Amino acid sequence: MPTNSPLRFVIVGGVAAGASAAARARRLSEAASITLLERGPDVSFANCGLPYFIGGEIKQRDALAVQTPQTLKALLALDVRTSTEVTAIDRAAKRVQVRNLSSGTTETLPYDKLLLAPGAVPLRPPLPGIDDPRVFTLRSLGDMDRIKAAAAGASRVAVIGAGFIGLEMAEQFVHLGKQVTLVELTAQVLPPLDQPMTRLVEDELRKHRVDLVLGDSVAAFEAGDALTCRLASGRAVTADLVVLSIGVRPDTVLARDAGLTLGKRGHIHVNGFMQTSDPDIYAAGDAIETEDFVTHEVATVPLGGPANRQGRLVADHIFRPAETKPYPGALGTAIVRVFDAAAGLTGWSEKRLCAAGRGYRTVTVNDNHHAGYFPGAKGILLKLLWDPTDGRVLGAQVSGLAGVDKRLDVIATAITGGLTIDDLAQLELAYAPPFGAAKDIVNLAGFAACNTRDGLVVPIDALPDDPAVQILDVRPPALVQAHPLPRVGAINIPLGALRARLGELDRTRPVVTVCALGKTAYFAARILAQNGFRVSALTGGIRAHFDPRSPAKLPTP
């Protein structure tokens, strides 16, 4: 480029990454020519808010328009062009071919730096009947409007896919008074999480009369007065409206046609500064593959937070390359609210660690979201995973009725800082009765992890079937009677009586201790271990494994 001309920065895609890049670019250069090209009619809208407008929880559609083409022009002096598609990139000439979708006219725009932020497209597999107009996917404000209009006349809704967006849609359709069926291919909701951690959400869905169909999938859509979703199992689900939320694929045809390097699954490959294989072409957001923060392996994280920060980083690298630090990689931190419950994860799950063949250890702990003696304390469940070689935290999953986001954020920050399980045990978090506990559940997870590492307790993930194993339920007898363990043959000795009644146990046979939350079982296991028993404790207790609302004590009469 001629050195005295202002830099021409062309951005393809005007939502999260694209709009962030444009805004940051303008802060860094009043002189640059910044052009924002968006295929759809809207820019910089709050796509994470779409389900909530459909369900009426967000009442004003305007609230979703974070910026409009007009405000972007006024505040940032951008050349914003909506309904404008980029059809080709001429890398040699550094030009993009642009078509106005309203007028059909085409033109050529030169660039010095180009950002591809095209996002991802909801999957629509080629199933029989998929083109029925009652089968929707949700990506744009237009999709949102169409689903909202269709929902007005629908009484039965099927949501296909119980990932984050599927759960948000199911919740919002219940808010609208619809009869909701939620179909999920895997045996659980929220496939990125490890299974016991999703029980509370599943329970919450059923409590709100969502018909939860797990381990099944749609084979075909059959048109009629209503639409019949024929499932792989043979079951038929009748619906007036179907929302498909089974995943996304990166929208990378343009990048591929331009010869840019793509990853195995079609994502645009970028370096730490979001540069594609052509250093003058950047890419950011849902369409790229980035690095995993922990392992530095390739990762794809189609989430709004990373997209926004990646877009910002692109502008930094264009205008201040020497001062720009590379993208640190993604943790995949994500959360969803489902009625009164929430669940989420950060970093690695057990299933990912297993699949990758990486060593790990794990504990699951229950507690209240703030001091139990303060009114309104709600249950929370935290699963922690760490590296046995150095104690570093690898990931966590949290579910509960309050305070879930806080613990995910603390552990995301801990992973970012390379903290170990010993550090978690000593974290000094904010405590006043309305907000936390003297020993927060994050501290408890650190304690439990250190106890496991140090051999003070052997956690076990499930009750063994081996009849030689003695199952010892250490809850108070009245609680056992009110909430029996869902298996026969357990011995009940409450913790307070255990030392006196050790003779009732067979020292030659292994023992598994069980309680409501997992803590008392650990206490009992310590007593038994020091008395020569081979003992393990059910991690997370009955609440984690059998009943997410299992009480820790009986209500005071």
Which DSSP string do the residues of 309-355 spell out, in sequence order?
HHHHHHHHHHH-GGGPPPP--B---EEEEETTEEEEEEE--HHHHHH
Report DSSP state, residue 403: S
> In the chain, how long is the greatest CA-to-CA distance?
90
H/E stretch holding 541: helix 541-545
| 250/347 with CB nearer its own copies | 347
Residues in Cβ contact with 122 at an 8 Å cutoff, skipping those fewer than 6 apart: 137, 138, 139, 244, 245, 246, 247, 248
Rg of the chain, C-alpha, whole Å = 27
Question: Considering the complex, what minimum distance in angstroms separates the CB of residue 114 from its own copies?
Answer: 23
| 373/488 with CB nearer its own copies | 373
Question: Considering the complex, what minimum distance in angstroms separates the CB of residue 172 from its own copies?
Answer: 11
Question: Considering the complex, what minimum distance in angstroms separates the CB of residue 476 from its own copies?
Answer: 11
Alpha-carbon torsion 270, 272, 274, 277, what sign? negative
| 95/148 with CB nearer its own copies | 148
Helices 199-207 and 164-175 meet at what angle, rounded to 10? 20
| 6/247 with CB nearer its own copies | 6
Question: Considering the complex, what minimum distance in angstroms separates the CB of residue 169 from its own copies?
Answer: 13
| 129/459 with CB nearer its own copies | 459
| 214/402 with CB nearer its own copies | 402
| 99/526 with CB nearer its own copies | 526
Quote the CA–CA distance of 121 and 15 in Å, as a whole number. Answer: 13
Question: Considering the complex, what minimum distance in angstroms separates the CB of residue 92 from its own copies?
Answer: 32
Question: Considering the complex, what minimum distance in angstroms separates the CB of residue 174 from its own copies?
Answer: 15
Quote the CA–CA distance of 289 and 271 in Å, as a whole number. Answer: 9
Question: Considering the complex, what minimum distance in angstroms separates the CB of residue 82 from its own copies?
Answer: 19
| 252/310 with CB nearer its own copies | 310
Give the pairing of strands 79-81 and 211-214: unpaired
H/E stretch holding 394: strand 393-400
Quote the CA–CA distance of 416 and 414 in Å, as a whole number. Answer: 5
Question: Considering the complex, what minimum distance in angstroms separates the CB of residue 65 from its own copies?
Answer: 9
Question: Considering the complex, what minimum distance in angstroms separates the CB of residue 291 from its own copies?
Answer: 12
| 57/211 with CB nearer its own copies | 57
Nearest in space to 87 (alpha carbons), one of 69, 74, 103, 100: 100
Quote the CA–CA distance of 80 and 22 in Å, as a whole number. Answer: 10
- Count how many Cα atoms sit within 13 Å of the Cα of residue 315 in the half-sphere of its side chain: 25
Alpha-carbon torsion 524, 550, 439, 421, what sign? positive
Taking the CA atoms of residue 71, residue 73, residue 76 and residue 81 in that order, the dihedral angle to the nearest 10 degrees is 110
Q: How would you list the strands of the sheet with 156-160, edge to edge?
A: 135-136, 241-244, 156-160, 179-184, 211-214
Question: Considering the complex, what minimum distance in angstroms separates the CB of residue 103 from its own copies?
Answer: 28
| 217/520 with CB nearer its own copies | 520
Contact 13, 117 (CB under 8 A): yes
- b/e per residue 124-157 (b: at least 16 CB within 10 A): eeebebeeeebbbbbbbbebbebbbebbeebebb
Question: Considering the complex, what minimum distance in angstroms separates the CB of residue 116 from its own copies?
Answer: 19
| 204/240 with CB nearer its own copies | 204
Task: Write the single-letter amino acid at 73.
Answer: K
Quote the CA–CA distance of 419 and 179 in Å, as a whole number. Answer: 45
Question: Considering the complex, what minimum distance in angstroms separates the CB of residue 60 from its own copies?
Answer: 7
| 279/434 with CB nearer its own copies | 434
Contact 383, 364 (CB under 8 A): yes
Nearest in space to 254 (alpha carbons), one of 119, 108, 107, 140: 119
Give the pairing of strands 341-347 and 393-400: antiparallel
Question: Considering the complex, what minimum distance in angstroms separates the CB of residue 46 from its own copies?
Answer: 5
| 225/428 with CB nearer its own copies | 428
